[in-house]
Amino acid sequence: MDYLAVKDLKKTKDLWERLAAEKELVITRDGKPSALMISVSPETLDDSLREIRRALFSAAVSRVRRRAEGNAPNAQEIEAVIRESRQERSVS
CB atoms within 10 A of CB 14: 12
Domains in the chain: how many in total?
2
Asked if residue 72 has pLDDT above 80, the reply is no
Prediction pTM value: 0.62
On whether both 92 and 58 belong to a single domain, the answer is: yes
> What tens digit of pLDDT does each residue of 42-63 get?
999 999 999 999 999 999 999 9
Residue 92: the pLDDT is 59
On whether both 30 and 49 belong to a single domain, the answer is: no
- The rounded mean pLDDT for the chain is 91
Q: How far is CA 80 from the centre of its chain?
A: 35
Proportion of the chain in helix, strand, coil states, percent, rounded to 5: 65, 20, 15
The CATH number of the domain where 22 resides is what? 3.40.1620
Asked if residue 16 has pLDDT above 80, the reply is yes
d(CA 56, CA 23): 19
On whether both 30 and 71 belong to a single domain, the answer is: no
| Structural contact between residues 40 and 34, judged by C-beta atoms closer than 8 angstroms | no
Asked if residue 90 has pLDDT above 90, the reply is no
Domain residues for the domain of 16 are 1-39
Q: Average pLDDT of 67-74?
A: 80
